[in-house]
């Protein structure tokens, strides 16, 4: 595919702090707070995850669990203030984005990382044509001529299968359907040939048939380009279809981390188990759905001990006081539950 | 509230009888251009000939992609928008012709629950005022002195703490706000509740709570639901019968089992096959029907069968003749010249 002609990927290594065998991206023990009128919201409370080239990590969790804030911290687009990064590391090929110089950070993020947002309409600028928005990056970042950038923009729209790309580049975002805008966003995010793509709920606003098209496209592009993909979603179906590994978030922590097959077959955390059980099914008409009692905690006052304890059907006394650490369950699986081993062993 | 069900029983249709019969319902919106002398250059054919019946105590699910006319259908049935043409019989009487006392009674009997619990509640009103507001419009249902007690009872019925009667909507979570909306819809003891995407904005765990609540209320009060949603699993879970819409028309209608296990319309099949399955072990083994392109504009829908621009089975006849919604195979109606059963749900 024409994309190979682009530079970008190869030049990051030489003469820099890049560590050869390091994971493509590694988030370690990240703490982020928001200072709000009502108090300090502890939004991320030690998030760790990593993704390698060519791999899909799904970050799963209910709204407010901190999925997007983690992504924003990686991309360097957190609202600071009110956000404060308290501690932790975000290493891209071994270099900590929170420690390197501003120039180096911009360079790494500019060429290595890209993000696709949930709401393509508000992420695209309504007053410029779709083509212009793609071309601008190519001209500013890669110094392409106007003519080459236009040609490239058409190629990119074509790549994400927008029909009549040559005509469509001249149109404005509002002239695109929801599915086409999401494709245009993906085209734009691919313009600089990133090594890691973060897709934050890329299909949540779309219909199932369009969702299927977009997920196919993302998957295909990822495999072709050996990109790392972080897919943020709350949709357990989408995750099951594309994820290699899954990180489940609750109240700003990764409470379970597992390969996709193990997680669905034999969840290692009561929260994951409850989520799977509360899902209505397409293949049978159910009666009563299992529910998780209560509500996710306020991040202004996270419960002591295990943050899930007020809602957990397995909670015991120690859960109210002792914070569960990571329990290793083999195959790279971890679970932050005091009884993780028992839970997994039960099957 | 529980006496309402028995009160009704004597005079009303028995369970299973049609309470609402919709025939050839059409709703077009004019497309206008110009600032001073607006002239109409076309019509958005949002709902374009829809017929179905709703039986007492049942849930009719309505599924279809964004813009296919689901919410417009709801608005017309609520008499919030006048129909362009067509009829709807509520207990045998034309509901669009109702006036005066009969219309007031109709407005009590059909209620709606909307998708967005964040915007559909007035932020400056307390929960008590929101849930009790219908009594201002219909004071005959609850005399002034009894209202607070009624509201507390309603809050209790939907699983909210009656002590929170003086709180404001922003003090509640999304799922709780949806319960407030449901309590309000129940206030006038309706017979039909139209639910327009009532759980779409909620997280899975909260969605399950609200779905269970809707199910419980239905059996307790004998309610009939028109349940609109785009999530096919959610619709199957709650529905007795299901109508599938595409570009303003019902393309297939049948029992939950007929639609999900024996679909015959290519669009239904594509829609069902595209739903991701929450089981990574079947990844890559499912047959997924990938539709090309987007839904055409409802201003200028394709001739003949509206699905033909995306249908892999389309023949010449599909561009020429509108396929009627009639039973050809599998014992239920499907608007396809070449309807045939194909099982797509694993
Ligand atoms: N007041 C209006 N004026 C003009 N067009 C309208 C109006 N209301 C709805 N439409 C159009 O009618 C069609 C059907 O809209 P409707 O809101 O009923 O869709 P829907 O099936 O509820 O979609 P969604 O799943 O996105 O809620 C759309 O093309 C919409 O743009
Ligand atoms: N700019 C902000 N100011 C204050 N709080 C914020 C801001 N952005 C996010 N938050 C809070 O951080 C928490 C996590 O948010 P987010 O990462 O967006 O959740 P999600 O998992 O749904 O993506 C939420 O409680 C949210 O309200
Ligand atoms: S640690 Fe206790 S409360 Fe937390 S998930 Fe495990 S059993 Fe439940
Ligand atoms: S009538 Fe023709 S175009 Fe329409 S669904 Fe059937 S085969 Fe496809
Ligand atoms: Mg988010
Ligand atoms: Mg709608």
| pLDDT for the residue numbered B4 | 43
- Express each pLDDT in A241-288 by its tens digit: 999 999 999 999 999 999 999 999 999 999 999 999 998 888 877 778
Write out the two tokens for A191.
């313009």
Closest CA relative to residue A60, chosen from A190, A187, A193, A236: A236
Q: How far does the CA of residue A175 sit from the closest CA of chain B (Å)?
A: 12
CA B338 distance to own-chain centroid = 28
How far, in Å, CA of A199 to CA of A186, rounded? 9
How far, in Å, CA of B312 to CA of A136, rounded? 39
Cβ–Cβ gap B230/A207 under 8 Å: yes
Mean of the pLDDT values across residues A294-316?
Answer: 92
CA dihedral sign, ordered B207, B209, B212, B214: negative
| pLDDT for the residue numbered A7 | 36
Give chain B positions within 8 Å (CB) of A276: 278
Comparing B299 with A1, the larger pLDDT belongs to B299
Cβ–Cβ gap B283/A279 under 8 Å: no
The helix or strand, by DSSP H or E, that contains position B310, with its residue range, turns out to be none
Residue A6: pLDDT over 60: no
**Chain B residues 9-28 within an 8 A CB cutoff of chain A:** none
Residue B291: pLDDT over 50: yes
The helix or strand, by DSSP H or E, that contains position A96, with its residue range, turns out to be strand A95-96
Residue with tokens 């108090």: A39
Neighbours of A108 (CB within 10 A): 21
pTM for the model: 0.87
The helix or strand, by DSSP H or E, that contains position A158, with its residue range, turns out to be helix A146-159
Mean of the pLDDT values across residues B263-278?
Answer: 94
Residue with tokens 């002609």: A5
CA of A9 to the centre of ligand 5 (A): 28
Which residue does chain A place closest to B236, by CA atoms? A285
CA of B147 to the centre of ligand 2 (A): 39
Residue with tokens 């239905």: B218
B213, B182 contact by CB (below 8 A): yes
- Contact residues for B249 (Cβ-Cβ < 8 A; gap 6+): B48, B49, B50, B306, B325, B335
Helix, strand, coil percentages in chain B from 3-state DSSP, rounded to 5:
35, 20, 40
Residue identifier of the C-alpha nearest atom 8 of ligand 1: B72
Band the pLDDT of B215: cuts 50, 70, 90. very high
- Express each pLDDT in B9-66 by its tens digit: 444 556 678 999 999 999 999 888 776 777 888 899 999 999 999 999 999 999 998 8
With pLDDT > 70 as the criterion, what percentage of chain B qualifies? 94
HEC readout, A195-261: CEEEEECCCCCCCHHHHHHHHHHHHHHHHHHCCEEEEEECCHHHHHHHCCEEEEEECCEEEEEEEHH
On the CB side of B316, how many CA atoms lie within 13 Å of its CA? 0
Concatenated DSSP letters for A2-26?
Answer: GGGG--SGGGGSTTSS--TTS-SEE
Residue with tokens 């029909």: A163
How far, in Å, CA of B301 to CA of A75, rounded? 43
Neighbours of A11 (CB within 10 A): 10
- Express each pLDDT in B326-339 by its tens digit: 999 999 999 999 99
Residue A156: pLDDT over 70: yes
A131, A169 contact by CB (below 8 A): yes
Comparing A94 with B16, the larger pLDDT belongs to A94
| pLDDT for the residue numbered A91 | 95
- Contact residues for A145 (Cβ-Cβ < 8 A; gap 6+): A139
Helices and strands (DSSP H and E) totals, chain A: 12, 12
Helix/strand/coil for B170: helix
- Among the bound ligands, name the one nearest to the CA of residue A323: 3
| pLDDT for the residue numbered B166 | 93
Secondary structure letter of residue B169 according to DSSP: G
| pLDDT for the residue numbered A8 | 39
How far, in Å, CA of A174 to CA of A189, rounded? 19
Residue B251: pLDDT over 90: yes
Residues recorded for chain A: 347
Q: For residue B280, give the nearest of A211, A264, A285 by CB distance.
A: A264
- Express each pLDDT in B138-171 by its tens digit: 988 888 888 999 999 999 888 888 999 999 988 8
How far, in Å, CA of B316 to CA of A270, rounded? 55
Closest CA relative to residue B21, chosen from B76, B92, B117: B92
Radius of gyration of chain A (CA): 21
- Using CA atoms of B168, B171, B172, B173 in order, give the dihedral in degrees to the nearest 10: 140
Contacts of residues B136-141 at CB distance under 8 Å and 24 or more positions apart, as own/partner, are B137/B107, B138/B104, B138/B107, B138/B108, B138/B188, B141/B108, B141/B187, B141/B188, B141/B189
| pLDDT for the residue numbered B288 | 86
- Contact residues for B173 (Cβ-Cβ < 8 A; gap 6+): A295, B206
Residue A3: pLDDT over 80: no
- Express each pLDDT in B86-108 by its tens digit: 999 999 999 999 999 999 999 99
Comparing A182 with A305, the larger pLDDT belongs to A305
Structure ipTM over 0.85, yes or no: no
Comparing B239 with A176, the larger pLDDT belongs to B239
B242, B254 contact by CB (below 8 A): yes
On the CB side of B230, how many CA atoms lie within 13 Å of its CA? 21
The torsion angles phi and psi of B30, rounded to 5 degrees, stand at -70, 145
Mean of the pLDDT values across residues B175-179?
Answer: 86
B19, B274 contact by CB (below 8 A): no
| Partner A contacted by B257 (CB < 8 A) | yes
Radius of gyration of chain B (CA): 21
Q: Provide the greatest CA pair distance for chain B.
A: 68
- Among the bound ligands, name the one nearest to the CA of residue A315: 3
């Amino acid at each position: 595919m024409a994309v190979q002609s682009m530079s970008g990927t190869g030049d990051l290594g030489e003469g820099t702090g890049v560590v050869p065998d390091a994971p493509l991206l590694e988030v370690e023990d990240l703490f982020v707070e928001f200072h709000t009128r009502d108090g300090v919201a502890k939004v991320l409370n030690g998030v760790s995850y990593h993704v390698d080239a060519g791999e899909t990590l799904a970050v799963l969790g209910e709204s407010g669990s901190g999925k997007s804030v983690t992504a924003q911290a990686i991309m360097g687009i957190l609202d600071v203030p009110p956000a404060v990064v308290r501690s932790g590391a975000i290493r891209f090929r071994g270099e900590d984005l929170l420690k390197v110089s501003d120039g180096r950070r911009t360079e790494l993020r500019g060429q290595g990382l890209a993000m696709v947002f949930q709401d393509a309409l508000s992420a695209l600028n309504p007053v410029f044509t779709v083509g212009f928005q793609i071309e601008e990056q190519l001209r500013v970042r890669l110094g392409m001529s106007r003519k080459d950038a236009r040609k490239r923009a058409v190629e990119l729209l074509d790549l994400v299968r927008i029909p009549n790309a040559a005509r469509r580049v001249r149109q404005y975002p509002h002239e695109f359907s929801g599915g086409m805008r999401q494709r245009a966003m993906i085209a734009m995010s691919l313009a600089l040939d990133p090594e890691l793509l973060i897709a934050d709920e890329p299909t949540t606003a779309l219909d199932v048939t369009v969702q299927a098209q977009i997920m196919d496209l993302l998957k295909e592009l990822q495999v072709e380009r050996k990109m790392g993909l972080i897919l943020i979603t709350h949709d357990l179906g989408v995750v099951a279809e594309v994820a290699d590994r899954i990180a489940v978030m609750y109240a700003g922590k990764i409470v379970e981390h597992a390969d996709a097959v193990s997680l669905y077959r034999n969840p290692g955390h009561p929260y994951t188990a409850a989520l799977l059980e509360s899902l209505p099914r397409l293949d049978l008409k159910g009666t009563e759905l299992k529910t998780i009692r209560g509500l996710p905690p306020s991040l202004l006052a996270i419960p002591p001990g295990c943050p899930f304890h007020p809602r957990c059907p397995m909670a015991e006394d120690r859960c109210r006081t002792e914070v569960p650490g990571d329990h290793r369950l083999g195959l790279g699986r971890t679970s932050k539950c005091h009884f993780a081993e028992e839970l997994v062993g039960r099957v | 509230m529980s006496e309402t069900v028995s009160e009704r029983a004597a005079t009303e249709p028995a369970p299973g009888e049609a309470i609402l019969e919709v025939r050839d319902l059409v709703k077009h919106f004019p497309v206008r251009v110009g600032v001073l002398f607006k002239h109409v250059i076309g019509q958005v054919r949002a709902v374009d000939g829809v017929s179905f019946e709703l039986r007492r105590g049942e849930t009719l699910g309505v599924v279809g992609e964004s813009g296919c006319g689901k919410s417009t259908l709801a608005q017309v049935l609520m008499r919030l928008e006048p129909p362009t043409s067509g009829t709807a019989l509520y207990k045998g009487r034309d509901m669009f012709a109702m006036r005066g006392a009969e219309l007031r009674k109709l407005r009590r009997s059909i209620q709606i629950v909307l998708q967005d619990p964040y915007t559909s509640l007035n932020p400056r009103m307390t929960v008590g005022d929101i849930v009790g507001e219908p009594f201002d419009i219909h004071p005959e249902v609850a005399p002034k002195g009894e209202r607070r007690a009624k509201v507390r009872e309603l809050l209790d019925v939907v699983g909210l703490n009656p002590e929170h009667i003086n709180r404001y909507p922003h003090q509640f979570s999304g799922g709780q706000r949806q319960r407030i909306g449901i309590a309000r819809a129940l206030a006038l003891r309706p017979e039909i509740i139209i639910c327009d995407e009532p759980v779409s904005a909620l997280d899975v765990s909260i969605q399950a709570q609200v779905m269970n609540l809707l199910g419980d209320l239905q059996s307790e009060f004998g309610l009939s639901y028109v349940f609109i949603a785009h999530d096919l699993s959610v619709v199957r879970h709650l529905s007795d019968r299901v109508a599938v819409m595409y570009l303003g028309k019902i393309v297939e209608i049948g029992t939950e089992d007929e639609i999900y296990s024996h679909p015959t319309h290519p669009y239904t099949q594509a829609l069902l096959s595209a739903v991701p399955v929450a089981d990574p072990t079947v990844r890559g083994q499912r047959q997924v029907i990938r539709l090309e392109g987007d839904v055409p504009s409802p201003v200028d829908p394709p001739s003949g069968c509206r699905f033909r621009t995306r249908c892999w089975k389309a023949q010449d006849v599909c561009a020429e003749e509108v396929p009627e919604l009639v039973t050809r195979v599998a014992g239920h109606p499907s608007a396809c010249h070449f309807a045939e059963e194909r099982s797509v749900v694993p």
